Amino acid sequence: MSDETRLIRTGTLAGPLAKTVGPPIQKGSTVLLPSAAALYDDDNFVTYGRSGLSAQMSLRSALVDLEDAAGVTLYPSGMAAIAGALLALLKSGDEILVVDNVYKPVRRFCDQVLTRFGVAVTYFDPGASPEALVSGASAAVRLIFLETPGSLSFEMQDLPRIAELARARGILTATDNTWGAGLIFRPLEHGVDISLQALTKYVCGHSDTFMGSAAARDPVLVRKLEDGVTNMGWAVSGEDAYAMLRGLRTLPLRLARHGESGLEVARWLRDQPEVAAMYHPALPGCPGHDIWKRDFKGACGLFSFALKPAPDTAVEAFLDALQLFGLGFSWGGFESLAISCAPQLRVRNFERDYGGPLIRLHIGLENPGDLIADLRSGLDAYRRLAG
């Protein structure tokens, strides 16, 4: 054989793979089929690498386990999972009801993309009762999009009740369960049709890889989600799927620590004179605590609190004085983060008085005593400018 041919034929694996605790990471767009008949055999599961190979398949089966689902589809980011599920299930002429405290990029997708394809988008007050929400839905409503607790402001919704009422009217429910991470809340067990997650956050846990998932129990829905992924041409890499699987192994331990430390910091904050209100569903007395207690198995490290009203400069001084908390929009990694929320709250239709400027914290895996000392120095800086 000539060199060109030899170099194309060489370097492939001869025997079976050694067995490691994780799956092998297969890389491949081309999948070699065993025979001419297999090329167009509909029972042949994998004929092309875009649908995912060993690591992606392993991750999907682990997520089926985690979510107690019939099927899970993967997407290149959490946002892609939400966009992908909605595009797979909605059509022109449909209406979607979206909770007003939804993750802001979802709102942009609904307003800029769904409306362009003839889907009517209606935002509803997160405080609306399930009965009023579902009985007030028009005949065109195909899907209710939920997120609980809601982004930034942490309102809790009665998902089991909304799902039950919606199902009786033939309306689908989907929820962004990134806060629950498939572990402290399992939407499918509570009757929700589609559970969506930004795996980027807690499942990854290390702030370095993007991925999203959609899980469902109804085989018809699973098929539609899978067709949606195929039709949009989405693929995730084996390395990234492997990173998510690695994160899953320690998810319960990390979440437990994030949750405990988060509550310790929240309890301390509640008693500080500069703090007007807490928004943490697992903290007794906070809005939605009853629903959290009934439906959730724990908490993660993400919550908000309101400073007492003060000029913007005092809020900025608080954030700028923090040394251990990074200023950044993400969460779910090992590191603590803080953001101010006001500019993101302005796009909402239903305004609420939080008691003062809202700050969202992600409590990482650092020592909570160190984090509390850091927050104290931030509050001191705020106090100097709060007047």
Interface residue list for ligand PLP (CB under 6 A): 77-79, 103, 151, 176, 178, 198, 200-201, 210, 212
Distances (CA, A) of 371 to 207, 251, 260, 306, 338: 19, 22, 13, 18, 11
Q: Report helix angle 54-67 to 238-270, nearest 10.
A: 40
Shortest spacing between CB 343 and ligand PLP, in angstroms: 16
Please give the residue whose beta carbon sits closest to ligand PLP in the complex: 78
Element (H, E) at 322: none
Return the number of the residue (107 or 383) whose C-beta is nearest ligand PLP. Answer: 107
Shortest spacing between CB 154 and ligand PLP, in angstroms: 11
Sheet strands (E) in the chain? 71-75, 95-99, 120-124, 141-147, 172-176, 194-198, 212-216, 275-279, 302-307, 326-327, 337-340, 358-362
Shortest spacing between CB 213 and ligand PLP, in angstroms: 10
Map tokens 């989600």 to a residue.
Answer: 225
Shortest spacing between CB 306 and ligand PLP, in angstroms: 20
Q: If we measure between CA atoms, which residue out of 56, 375, 376 comes closest to residue 237?
A: 56
Q: If we measure between CA atoms, which residue out of 205, 209, 302 comes closest to residue 252?
A: 205
What's the count of helices (H) and strands (E) in the chain, helices before strands?
13, 12
Return the number of the residue (84 or 287) whose C-beta is nearest ligand PLP. Answer: 84
Contact 319, 381 (CB under 8 A): no
Q: Report helix angle 312-321 to 368-386, nearest 10.
A: 150
Shortest spacing between CB 176 and ligand PLP, in angstroms: 5
Shortest spacing between CB 328 and ligand PLP, in angstroms: 11
Contact 277, 163 (CB under 8 A): no
Pairing mode, strands 326-327 and 337-340: parallel
Tokens of 343: 């500019």
CA dihedral 256, 260, 265, 267 (to 10 degrees): 140
The catalytic residues are 50, 103, 176, 201
Map tokens 């039709």 to a residue.
Answer: 231
Return the number of the residue (56 or 77) whose C-beta is nearest ligand PLP. Answer: 77
- CB count in 10 Å sphere of residue 52: 21
Q: If we measure between CA atoms, which residue out of 147, 113, 100, 121 comes closest to residue 346?
A: 100
Q: If we measure between CA atoms, which residue out of 278, 325, 344 comes closest to residue 305?
A: 278
Q: If we measure between CA atoms, which residue out of 268, 346, 331, 342 comes closest to residue 309?
A: 342
Return the number of the residue (210 or 296) whose C-beta is nearest ligand PLP. Answer: 210
Return the number of the residue (195 or 200) whose C-beta is nearest ligand PLP. Answer: 200
Q: Indicate the DSSP class of residue 293.
A: H
Shortest spacing between CB 181 and ligand PLP, in angstroms: 11
Return the number of the residue (58 or 151) whose C-beta is nearest ligand PLP. Answer: 151
Return the number of the residue (58 or 197) whose C-beta is nearest ligand PLP. Answer: 197
Shortest spacing between CB 249 and ligand PLP, in angstroms: 20
User: Cis link prior to 24 (omega < 30° from 0)?
Assistant: no
CA dihedral 299, 59, 86, 279 (to 10 degrees): 10
Return the number of the residue (356 or 364) whose C-beta is nearest ligand PLP. Answer: 364
